[in-house]
């Protein structure tokens, strides 16, 4: 049964998707099937997909909000669009590629439900990682180290998809990034505005480049620039 603490909460799950026809149906089904301990909404953003992603999303139209753009604007743009539509007292991002299992969302949002945090990240590197290449592992840890040095934080996984934010934390952000650099923007602006970020361990199963992994090495360089821009400007 809902506790007094959870009765006041409503969860918004934001799912950006670009050419995810292989996994989108399963991702939506799994997300809808979970018990998060609070009422929730699922907002999907079809970011200019050229495959059958949108057609598959439409099969869930009675249970899912669908936002669709004709062109690919970038993950940051999709997340910002979803967050702008979110009605929840808590918002979290769920990727459509199923590298993160939605059953873990409840553990990530629990500290916010318990009033122990305003921002919670699911950390892959304090949990378990399967299939991530050494290059991507190194890149993730390097970007996290850069974040910690610039903002005097102690994060273990800045680039994680699972970023859960209370309405208070979310309202403090004025996001502008349109690409993968939105991950750094969210983190840097939270830290710069004085929010502590609590991490909880999660499991992660990476997909390969052949399976459609979209982030590139160049995105890492852009992320560093984003961190520097927010820290010093």
Report pTM. Answer: 0.94
Record: fold of 8-232: Spore Coat Polysaccharide Biosynthesis Protein SpsA; Chain A (3.90.550)
Candidates 147, 142, 221; CA nearest to 191 is 147
Residue ranges of the domains in the chain?
8-232
Contact 94, 30 (CB under 8 A): no
Q: What is the pLDDT along the chain (233 residues), one digit of tens a residue?
A: 455 556 689 999 999 999 999 999 999 999 999 999 999 999 999 999 999 999 999 999 999 999 999 999 999 999 999 999 999 999 999 999 999 999 999 999 999 999 999 999 999 999 999 999 999 999 999 999 999 999 999 999 999 999 999 999 999 999 999 999 999 999 999 999 999 999 999 999 998 655 455 677 788 999 999 999 999 98
How many angstroms from the chain centroid is the CA of residue 195? 17
Over 148-185, what HEC string results?
HHHHCCCCCCCCCCCEEEEHHHHHCCCCCCCCCCHHHH
């Amino acid at each position: 049964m809902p506790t007094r603490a959870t009765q006041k909460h409503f969860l918004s799950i934001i799912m950006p998707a670009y050419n995810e026809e292989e996994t989108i149906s399963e991702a939506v089904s799994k997300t809808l099937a979970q018990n998060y301990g609070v009422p929730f909404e699922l907002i999907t953003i079809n970011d200019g997909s050229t495959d059958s992603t949108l057609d598959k999303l439409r099969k869930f139209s009675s249970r899912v909000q669908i936002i669709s753009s004709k062109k690919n604007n970038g993950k940051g743009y999709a997340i910002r669009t979803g967050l702008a539509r979110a009605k929840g007292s808590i918002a979290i991002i769920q990727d459509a590629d199923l590298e993160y299992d939605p059953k873990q969302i409840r553990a990530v949002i629990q500290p916010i439900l318990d009033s122990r945090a305003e921002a919670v990240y699911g950390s892959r590197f304090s949990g378990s990682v399967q299939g991530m290449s050494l290059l991507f592992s190194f890149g993730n840890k390097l970007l996290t180290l850069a974040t910690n040095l610039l903002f005097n934080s102690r994060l273990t996984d800045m680039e994680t998809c699972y970023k859960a934010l209370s309405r208070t934390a979310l309202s403090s952000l004025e996001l502008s990034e349109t690409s993968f650099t939105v991950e750094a923007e969210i983190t840097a602006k939270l830290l710069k505005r004085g929010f502590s970020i609590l991490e909880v361990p999660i499991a992660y199963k990476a997909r390969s480049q052949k399976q459609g992994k979209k982030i590139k090495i160049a995105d890492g360089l852009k992320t560093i620039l984003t961190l520097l821009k927010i820290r010093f400007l």
